Structure 1
Amino acid sequence: MKYLLVQEDENGVEQLWGKCAGVEGLFVDPVPPPREVLTLRGCRPDGPLSYILADPDVSPRGLGDVCVEVWDDEQPVQWWTLVDAVVVAHQPHPTDPSRYDIVVGAGVRNEESFFEVPAAPRFELFAGTTVAAAGWCSAVDGLFKPRADPAPVPMELIGCEPAEPLLAVLRRPRARERDWVNLLMLDRHGAVMASRTVGLAITGARPSVLGGTLVDIALTDGGDDRPSPVARLIWEKWYQGAPAEPNMWAPYDAQGRAAWLDLTTRAWRVPVRRPDQLGGEHHLDGRFVTDVPGLHCAIAEALLGPGRYFGREWNAFIDCLCGGFGVAPPFTLVWHHSEVARRALSDVVEDPQGQLSYFEDIVRLLEHRGVTVLLR
């Protein structure tokens, strides 16, 4: 059995729902929302958006994913994502030449809408891996309209050995509200290497193709919390056991390295926490730091060892520097071959003022948190 189905109660205690030998449909790319054209009206651009408007010759003029916060007079009340947003055109706003009307192409995804749209909303924009402020605008034409839900992508649990809670779900009428469980993948030694949330919207169950008393359970939709097919090779590598050698992430591209970082998030969740190590000297092998995920793989490896977690992006890295993850400042970080990252990340600018590259920003952050950084 390679998978466990568990559900946590309100106290965080896990209850076993079943075991499975395999899962069909675990690795899928999310269905992208259809592309639309929207107009940001009366916009005061900042950060990454202002950089694009300042240099009209830049092409393609992509912003990545843009978070749109809808504010009332006091607080945000709705959150939207403009997926893979691209600036198509812009012009001065008719009533205020200091502001702009910006036309973007993007997929649109509603994240949270707990409240109705305010009578006079304000729209805050954020973009980039550090979720930097990108400005604000007075309206977003085309944002508030009905959209069809994406087609569900089914999943099938193969060779299941249901425990009593799952047996009860299989016996009850289909009209009942579905349950949510955590699908835990085990490595060959029986250790949990990954966890994904799965909704038990069951469309059918039959005797398993593996025989015996096992059953195969078909789900209408495996949910959005599934790894990309790109991650399959990474998961196969980790299935043999947690990494024991440095730089095993290095052969993969940025997407593969991001999948590697995703698996490291289980590494710090151990039952017994040891106090953070303070002081000492850590050595970072910078030969393969050619992208942002590679930078975070290398830093975590330098501080804690292969396969360990110390943040997977800017904000998570800041949290780790605050302590509780095995190492905390002050300490010394000797960054060997630092010029590799300096060159590779010279065009990755996430600083809101646009003055520093991602590499320079990381070094500055470390130094501000009490780390002595020695670039070699």
Structure 2
Amino acid sequence: MEPPKYALAAYGAEDEADEIWALCADAENLFGDPPPPARGTYELIGCTPEGELSEALTRARADGSAPLGTLTLEILDKEGAQVEEWSLEDVRVLGDRPCARDLSLRDITIEASESPDNPYDYPQCPPLSPGYRLLGAQNEPWGGCRDLAHILDGQPDLAEPSVRVLGCAPRGALQAALDAGEEDLGHTRLIRLDDSGRTVQSAVEGELVAWIPSARGRGLVDLTLEPWSERPPTAAEEVWELWDGGRPTEPGLWARCGAEGRRHWLSMALDHHEPDRPDAEAGGTFHLDGRSVIDLPGFFCALGEAVNGPGGYFGWGPDALEDCLRGRWGTRWPFTLVWHDAEVARTCLGLVPRTGQRPWTFEELLEFFGEKGIAVRLE
């Protein structure tokens, strides 16, 4: 039998070591990246266009359509104060016409992608709201509109394939269900293992719905699992391979990962954090290797490593970092952070087009640490 890369455990078992249903050689159709934001058609109803939106309308009337960029809708309460933001990206203006509700206003048709940072799927104005304030990528005013309509295209969502778990050696409740010829094989959790058979990370949860004898060995089976939880991203595979020998002992392995891999590295580091390990004494000094800090996930990978060693975790975003500073995550404030090769981050963590939740800049990181009493030395 091939060395197992995965284990199937009983869903909801408190002690998974006692409830392993099978050790499995591999899995197919496991990873599932979210699809790129679909292009949709929207109508901004009852608009008073200003600035670049007004200019794009003029171009669209002449050319048939015109690019606009990022459009942010500020949701207003009945007093006209901002409640929340909701954004559309890669906006293209398709045309306009007089608003049926008020002929002094315009209904503007656009094509766009929803921002992945939106707080919810569709914006809803509170009762008696005047509608939305429209803003550009740099927060410049583009007018307002009373309502937003999404014109649905009627295309069905594509079904994801079932996960196939291959070369499984069943045991326990799963073996009993197979021996009894039961159709209901149970609810399970698929776990990625390292080379020593220890848990790397939970992969997906779901229902076992079918099995066949496996070509990978006598007595082995291939199982079909229908997930009900979110599948791991494709980037998880490269991270798992770097953790195949257990928690890393070599610094900087996270830098081998792409952008999505660095994000998943943070989830891995969080899963392997040891909450009972005592904190370092306050007032200490930590050295952050900044050579590969080219984005915010990279900064948090490097920070976790600086505080807690290779594979360490010390936050994945602003709120999580603030929690870590309170203790039980390796250290507590105050401390000194020596940021080596800081010029890499100063160059890469610059301003980006503004969305509802844009990443921190280099200067904002320094400001945050200053507010929290963390001394940062740039080297």
> TM-score, length-normalised on structure 1?
0.70
Among residues 259, 267, 286, which one is paired with 1:262 in the alignment?
267
For the pair 1:372 / 2:375, whether they are aligned, the reply is yes
SS of the equivalent of 1:161 reads: strand
Question: For residue 185 of structure 1, what is the aligned residue in structure 2?
Answer: 192
In structure 1, what is the Cα distance between the partners aligned to 2:111 and 2:15?
46
Shift of 1:223: 5.4
Aligned partners of 1:276 and 1:323 also within 8 Å:
no
For the pair 1:213 / 2:216, whether they are aligned, the reply is no
Shift of 1:41: 4.9
For the pair 1:21 / 2:39, whether they are aligned, the reply is no
Among residues 44, 61, 86, which one is paired with 2:69 in the alignment?
61
Question: For residue 294 of structure 2, what is the aligned residue in structure 1?
Answer: 290
Consecutive unaligned residues in structure 1, runs of 5 or more = 45-49, 73-78, 126-135
In structure 2, what is the Cα distance between the partners aligned to 1:104 and 1:141?
12
| Cα deviation digits, residues 312-340 of structure 1 (max 9, x gap) | 23333333233332222111111122122
- Structure 1 residues 328 and 151, CA, compared in 2 at 3 Å: closer, same or farther? same
Aligned partners of 1:283 and 1:336 also within 8 Å:
yes
Shift of 1:186: 1.3
Question: For residue 89 of structure 2, what is the aligned residue in structure 1?
Answer: 85
| Cα deviation digits, residues 200-229 of structure 1 (max 9, x gap) | 252x2111222222211023558532221x
Amino acid aligned to 2:164: E
SS of the equivalent of 1:323 reads: coil
In structure 2, what is the Cα distance between the partners aligned to 1:119 and 1:169?
53
- Considering only aligned residues, what root-mean-square deviation do their CA atoms show, in Å? 4.9
Aligned partners of 1:154 and 1:222 also within 8 Å:
no
| Cα deviation digits, residues 92-131 of structure 1 (max 9, x gap) | x977999997845126999989xxx899597899xxxxxx
Aligned partners of 2:254 and 2:265 also within 8 Å:
yes
- Structure 1 residues 264 and 101, CA, compared in 2 at 3 Å: closer, same or farther? farther
Which segment is superposed worse, 139-148 or 294-303?
139-148
- Structure 1 residues 43 and 216, CA, compared in 2 at 3 Å: closer, same or farther? farther
SS of the equivalent of 2:212 reads: strand
Question: For residue 248 of structure 2, what is the aligned residue in structure 1?
Answer: 243
Aligned partners of 1:196 and 1:225 also within 8 Å:
yes
Aligned partners of 1:207 and 1:215 also within 8 Å:
yes
Question: For residue 64 of structure 2, what is the aligned residue in structure 1?
Answer: none
In structure 2, what is the Cα distance between the partners aligned to 1:31 and 1:52?
30
Aligned partners of 2:279 and 2:327 also within 8 Å:
no
| Cα deviation digits, residues 241-285 of structure 1 (max 9, x gap) | 3221222222443233223323222221x3744346422011112
Shift of 1:237: 2.1
Based on CA coordinates, which of the two structures has the bigger radius of gyration? 2
- Structure 1 residues 100 and 373, CA, compared in 2 at 3 Å: closer, same or farther? farther
> TM-score, length-normalised on structure 2?
0.70
Question: For residue 321 of structure 2, what is the aligned residue in structure 1?
Answer: 317
Question: For residue 41 of structure 2, what is the aligned residue in structure 1?
Answer: 37
| Cα deviation digits, residues 9-60 of structure 1 (max 9, x gap) | 49x554433322211122343344642122455799xxxxx9997998xx88
In structure 1, what is the Cα distance between the partners aligned to 2:333 and 2:28?
44
In structure 2, what is the Cα distance between the partners aligned to 1:54 and 1:347?
26
Percent of paired sites with the same residue: 32
4+ long deviations beyond 6 Å: 50-56, 66-72, 79-82, 93-102, 108-113, 121-125, 143-147, 349-354
SS of the equivalent of 1:61 reads: strand
For the pair 1:105 / 2:99, whether they are aligned, the reply is no
Shift of 1:7: 4.1
- Structure 1 residues 118 and 361, CA, compared in 2 at 3 Å: closer, same or farther? closer
Counterparts of residues 350-361 of structure 1 (less than 5 Å) = 358-361=361-364
Amino acid aligned to 2:20: L
SS of the equivalent of 1:290 reads: coil
- Structure 1 residues 196 and 352, CA, compared in 2 at 3 Å: closer, same or farther? closer
SS of the equivalent of 1:250 reads: helix
Question: For residue 362 of structure 1, what is the aligned residue in structure 2?
Answer: 365
Consecutive unaligned residues in structure 2, runs of 5 or more = 57-66, 79-83, 134-143
Shift of 1:185: 0.9
Among residues 150, 164, 167, which one is paired with 2:158 in the alignment?
150
In structure 2, what is the Cα distance between the partners aligned to 1:144 and 1:119?
23
In structure 1, what is the Cα distance between the partners aligned to 2:192 and 2:55?
47
